[in-house]
A and B are shown apart, each in its own frame.
Chain A
Amino acid sequence: MRPIDLMDALGDLPEDYIARELTYQPPKKNSIPFRAVIAAAACLLLTAGLVRGVWMKRQPIDTVPPQETLPTTETLPTEPVTTDTTAVQTSESGSEAETTASESASETAFSATAAWTETIETVTLPVQSIPALTQPASSTEATHPAATAVTTVQTDPTESPTESSITMLTTVKTGDAAENETPAEDETESPAEGIAETTAYIPTDPTEPIDITDPPEPTEPSYSLPGNLTPDSSGRDPLDGFTATECFGRTVLTVTPESDDPTDFSLGYTCTDRRYFQESMATDVAGGIWNTAYTYLDRQNGTSITVRLYCRSRFRLEYRTETAQYWRLDRPDGCIYLHCDAGGYVLYDDGNYVMQIEYNDPQADYQGFLEHFVPKN
């Protein structure tokens, strides 16, 4: 069979086959303005995400310093404390006052952004968090030498917190009261912290607040890095001589030696070896990135090694024949690495005869390339 026979056979194809190809419209690339708009939108989203992330991380520290929220935690004098009777309330009204206080505190703390205000408005504080406020009036009237006064700021949601309409609610917590409060012992020991924490949490469950003061760092998608390659049966590291580089956004391996170490690009073979490798290729997708692995089968001893795609290896074109190109890499140890590309085409030529191998077709089934080392002279 001659090539011209194939041409003739193509010419005898049915008309609809020809018409189909004549009218075929290749998929168009997006226009530059369109791509620019998409890129700008992506950048905007990314920036917004970053700003939000940074803000979230800083927010609890900046807006809710315990010292500012509860500026006065003063020790009462030894003499009996006369509490403000106007502040003494029943258990029910105390709960309401607590809720109001916490909501006001939340609103004050998060008044910087509406988004966070919305979040905080849904918070319902557990009643147990400040047990002193739930105590009957009689319990708050008791005096104790070690009693401490905790001052909280109650604000009217409808008014500015800086105005004089702020009412001071003073709650006296006695030692007895603290002893009687078995649940949430930590909170009773330091109610000031308990209140401060309510502004730092976004509770999804009233009984189990979630700490967001230190959100987890976003994790980057894991790619199939070259380090995951499996050594061959002889125990050699298949990565010898191959260095991971970035190539068009991909992590690939290049065979260009980075050091003067003669073994850098040896693949375990010496200069005097003359090895032939049958090359095959498998491609898979990981994280949206095509990964290509080459398997080199050493036909002399049956061993095989697997390496990842190498891209833009700095090979020079040594010579060409009608059916093949021979790409040469001068190894640091004085040997020549010769890659015989029997495909009969130039892979890439940017003027420096840089060879580029980049396959994206998962169905590609290249076989039959020969790789071999030849000693110099």
Chain B
Amino acid sequence: MEPAGTLLTHLRRGTLEFCVLALLRDGEKYAVDLTHELSRDGVLVTSEGTVYPLLSRLRRDGVVATEWRESAAGPPRRYYRLTPSGEAALVTFEEQWRRFSGAVDAVLKGEWTA
């Protein structure tokens, strides 16, 4: 049996990036706020820093865009927002995720019949 930590790592792969996109659905977010939200309970990410490699890839993939803005207190802040291709990827993921998680739930509850 896999330890719980390894299992979570596997489950995060392929889903975490869409959690980032989903957090941006209602509008842009400041990078630091984004990492705080994602690491709130330690389920989605183990620590705040592990979000940044993902953010860097999402920028390269063009599913998010960023903008630097001056801040009243402190250094300039980087804001993230969804691009049209990011929105499309999120819609596709959400459809497939509902199907997938519904099927897994049904199997776990013993409600999966042929």
The answer to whether A and B belong to the same complex is no
* B positions within 8 Å CB-CB of A: none
